[in-house]
Structure 1
Amino acid sequence: MRPIHAAPAALCLTAGLTALAAAALAQTRPAAELPGTPAPLTDADFPPVDRAEAALGQLLFYDPILSGGEEVACATCHHPAFGTSDGLSLGLGDGGIGLGPARHADPDNLPEERVPRNAQGLWNVSALQYRAMFMDGRVELDEGHAHGMRTPLEDEMLEGLSSMLSTQAMFPVVSPDEMAGHYQESDVSRAVRQGILTGEGGAWDILARRVAAIPAYAEAFAAVYPGRIAAPEDITYQDISNAIAAFMAFEFRSDTAPFDDWLRGEAELPPEAALGAEIFYGRGTCGSCHSGPFLTDHSFHAMGDVQLGPGKGARFESHDRDEGRFEVTGRPEDLYAFRTPSLRNVALTAPYGHAGAYRTLEGFLAAHADPVTALEAYDRGEAILPELAVADWGIMESAESRAAIAAAVAVPPLALSEGDISALVAFLGTLTDPVAEAGRLGVPDAVPSGLPVPQPEE
């Protein structure tokens, strides 16, 4: 085991820690001795990946050709420069210019709304333990279903898809606020507006025909899927989605963080991080929901998170609430419950919360410890929102709405000191994986369409 020596007690005390905390820092228990820690990850926790398929998916992931107006790529909202998120509370998809916190509305093509939820990090989303996608789980495995999966759309879309992750990748391109665009902007947006997604002339087919018309893509698809694709017209959007899923599975696998070395008994945690681990898996009770090797129980919980932006509802609804899992199940006990996020690389994915309401881990942890109090005391300056002439604060300005969110919280408040929060942040920092952060295939210099590859400003 590689030792990492504890800091001297005097140094700990000058950092504002108590003598008791300093004594705790001197002991860095192996993971195996700390109740609640998971077994280390192995190759068996992940699906096999074809490198050629992943390389094709890399180009598609960074290519704006998959958006209605050919201006937004998957990477626009899930860029490695921002931890596979976008650095915003709520992003701007179609109608936005730039990347990350510098992204702003295009005055010549103003977005109608913000994307209604914070862009999730993509770390380990291909892992075999995952049973659901999206914060509300609206795409989920279901062995009782003919296709082994349930989605909000017709079963026809599931034909030819290789995985749940591939299914998830079908949705952003037909979301008006994300990639499709609105009204008369393009043939894709018109098909989406009419509700024509599948079949010849549907939105997915239009996108597939765009890709198939580019010789470099047509050749690559034929090489990657030789048993299925003999000519460009054989390419479907399901094939595109499968390739993107393969890329995400390869590029964003994350199991080589210092945390993983600790789980394998190959290294000790730094002293403050070790104290954070004791709190996380002990009196902080964080590990009760953020359990297992991906630090998620893959379940849904109402934690009183601050809501902002347009909300999430059916097209015929006109409210700005986001009722989370309830929108999928209709069960009252699922009101305002959201899927427990994985904490892998969490230090890279600010801001935090399903609406990105907190810009720092410290702020989010303090609020998460006592969410009902935090809901009432929320500082709107915490949000990172590009300027847009929309109503963002309807829920927070409604005492009735805030009370409904608070009423769904079922956990008691937890007393955490500033030292506790600092230690927890240090522990969460050990989940940052240098291999995943650097990337395996990385960002391509160019894509076959010739369109600009999303890159942050210098």
Structure 2
Amino acid sequence: MNRLQWCIIAVFSLFVFGCSKDEVRKMVDEFIGFRNPAGFPEPVYKFANNEVTRDGFELGRKLFYDAQLSRNNTISCGLCHLQASAFTHHGHDVSHGIDDRLGSRNAPPIMNLAWSPTFMLDGGVFDLDLQPIAPITNPVEMDESIDNMLIKLRKTPSYPALFKKAFGTEDITTARVMKALSQFMVMVVSDQSKYDSVMRKQGVAFTADEARGYEIFQQKCNSCHKEPLFTDHSFRNNGIGIGPNNDEGRYLVTLKGEDKYKFRVPSLRNLAYTAPYMHDGRFYKLEGVLNHYSDEVQDMPTLDPLLRQNSKTGIGLTGEDKRYLLTFLNTLNDRNFIKDKRFAEQ
């Protein structure tokens, strides 16, 4: 049942059944759990194995912002994934972890993960319920062992009761920690941008410049950045070059030569909040990204074929095209998402 339906029921109850305003507010604020936004595909996350409940979601949110998941209790998931930055590490070309150690990649946004078949920029994790283990145990991120993390959580007075509410007993296990984190993360959905309102015919229309930018996007960009998620979840070499740390991307997972320097196609949602861009954060402005695709794509053995047409590399974009594209891309920013109090530290 969606929020509108709850509101209709609540108003009906107010006038027909004489419910108090507090009772009506309680009905409207009832936890609904995960809902599939109109126009979105079916999620790939297996909700049958981990149904989202209010208690599970709230426990996951608490764990997400708890620095006890790191070795020296200084780094939480929320430190490198800031809500105000669409859950990225805004302003950092690569992530900064424990003891201010530098990672090798830009922190990707936590957003619309219920539709993602793999995780990490190289797709090295295939199950959201396992994904947090990677940053928790990574020596340059949180540098903690799972056993140590569990010991700390078990010693924290508030947690046993919270785990009992979420899972039925006070047992604090690896599987329960991961499932609680997943319940929080799958709820972190961005679907309230201007683009979404236009597509749902909610009384909003693109301006002339936005509409022209949308046309150019459909002609030049949507082969990889498919609507409505604005990614096809594939791994591609976009001709950015080798980079300072020779990160070979997907190849490090598959050990297949054809996967060298391929990275996940990122979503284009919320770009206003997620700078810098690319897997190594080399571009701080979207203009730099568009200039790369029009003039700076490097020819490499594994370059995506879409970026090598008729012996030419890149995408044909005029200065005017870029201006219109930037205007359209701004319609993908979701201010409600970065302000949603459900996702903030409580």
Q: Work out whether the TM-score is over 0.5.
A: yes
Contact 1:90/1:118, CA 8 A, preserved across alignment? yes
Which of residues 166, 174, 198 in structure 1 aligns to 2:137? 174
For residues 416-440 of structure 1, the C-alpha deviation after alignment (integer angstroms, 9 at most, x for no partner) is 1222112111111111122212124
The one-letter amino acid of 2:95's match is: G
* Residue in 1 that maps onto 2:294: 369
Aligned residues: 296
The one-letter amino acid of 1:121's match is: P
Residue 350 (structure 1) shift: 0.5
2:225 is the alignment partner of 1:239: no
For residues 58-103 of structure 1, the C-alpha deviation after alignment (integer angstroms, 9 at most, x for no partner) is 111111110011111101110112221112111210113xxxxxxx
2:33 is the alignment partner of 1:132: no
* Residue in 2 that maps onto 1:121: 109
CA distance in 1, matches of 2:247, 2:76: 25
Structure 2's unaligned 5+ residue stretches are 1-37, 309-313
Mapping of residues 253-332 of structure 1, within 5 Å: 253-266=189-202, 267-282=204-219, 284=220, 286-308=221-243, 320-332=245-257
* Residue in 2 that maps onto 1:427: 328
CA distance in 2, matches of 1:78, 1:271: 35
The one-letter amino acid of 1:437's match is: I
Question: Which SS does the other structure have where 1:166 is aligned?
Answer: coil
* Residue in 2 that maps onto 1:61: 64
Which of residues 91, 96, 109 in structure 1 aligns to 2:95? 91
The one-letter amino acid of 1:436's match is: F
Question: Which SS does the other structure have where 2:342 is aligned?
Answer: coil
Contact 2:43/2:114, CA 8 A, preserved across alignment? no
Change (3 A) 1:215 1:167: same
Change (3 A) 1:407 1:371: farther
Larger relative contact order, structure 1 or 2 (CA cutoff 8 Å, min sep 6) = 1
Residue 307 (structure 1) shift: 4.9
Question: Which SS does the other structure have where 1:179 is aligned?
Answer: coil
For residues 376-433 of structure 1, the C-alpha deviation after alignment (integer angstroms, 9 at most, x for no partner) is xxxxxxxxxxxxxxxxxxxxxxxxxxxxx73432323222122211211111111112
Change (3 A) 1:335 1:45: closer
Change (3 A) 1:256 1:42: farther
The one-letter amino acid of 2:158's match is: A
The one-letter amino acid of 2:189's match is: R
Change (3 A) 1:82 1:347: same
CA distance in 1, matches of 2:44, 2:258: 31
Residue 43 (structure 1) shift: 7.6
Residue 42 (structure 1) shift: 6.8
The one-letter amino acid of 1:69's match is: N
Change (3 A) 1:307 1:177: farther
Change (3 A) 1:343 1:223: same
Mapping of residues 362-441 of structure 1, within 5 Å: 362-372=287-297, 406-409=300-303, 410=305, 411-412=307-308, 413-441=314-342
The one-letter amino acid of 1:296's match is: T
For residues 271-320 of structure 1, the C-alpha deviation after alignment (integer angstroms, 9 at most, x for no partner) is 222111100101x2x000111321111111111225545xxxxxxxxxx3
CA distance in 1, matches of 2:99, 2:330: 34
TM-score of the two chains, using structure 2 as the length reference? 0.80
Contact 2:112/2:186, CA 8 A, preserved across alignment? yes
Change (3 A) 1:290 1:414: same
Residue 362 (structure 1) shift: 1.3
Contact 1:166/1:242, CA 8 A, preserved across alignment? yes
Residue 444 (structure 1) shift: 2.5
Residue 118 (structure 1) shift: 0.4
Question: Which SS does the other structure have where 1:276 is aligned?
Answer: helix
CA distance in 2, matches of 1:327, 1:45: 24
* Residue in 1 that maps onto 2:258: 333
The one-letter amino acid of 2:318's match is: S
2:167 is the alignment partner of 1:225: yes
Percent of pairs identical after alignment?
32
Change (3 A) 1:307 1:360: farther
Which of residues 422, 438, 443 in structure 1 aligns to 2:344? 443
The one-letter amino acid of 1:419's match is: E
Contact 1:123/1:345, CA 8 A, preserved across alignment? no
Contact 1:90/1:116, CA 8 A, preserved across alignment? yes
Residue 243 (structure 1) shift: 1.1
CA distance in 1, matches of 2:293, 2:71: 38
Residue 334 (structure 1) shift: 1.1
CA distance in 2, matches of 1:348, 1:84: 9
Question: Which SS does the other structure have where 1:357 is aligned?
Answer: coil
Change (3 A) 1:414 1:307: same
Question: Which SS does the other structure have where 2:133 is aligned?
Answer: coil
Which of residues 72, 93, 112 in structure 1 aligns to 2:75? 72
Contact 1:372/1:406, CA 8 A, preserved across alignment? no
Contact 1:290/1:342, CA 8 A, preserved across alignment? yes
For residues 83-140 of structure 1, the C-alpha deviation after alignment (integer angstroms, 9 at most, x for no partner) is 21112111210113xxxxxxxxxxxxxx3xx11110001110122xx21111111112
CA distance in 1, matches of 2:209, 2:282: 27
* Residue in 1 that maps onto 2:22: none
* Residue in 2 that maps onto 1:81: 84
Change (3 A) 1:415 1:272: same
CA distance in 1, matches of 2:148, 2:332: 40
CA distance in 2, matches of 1:268, 1:297: 25
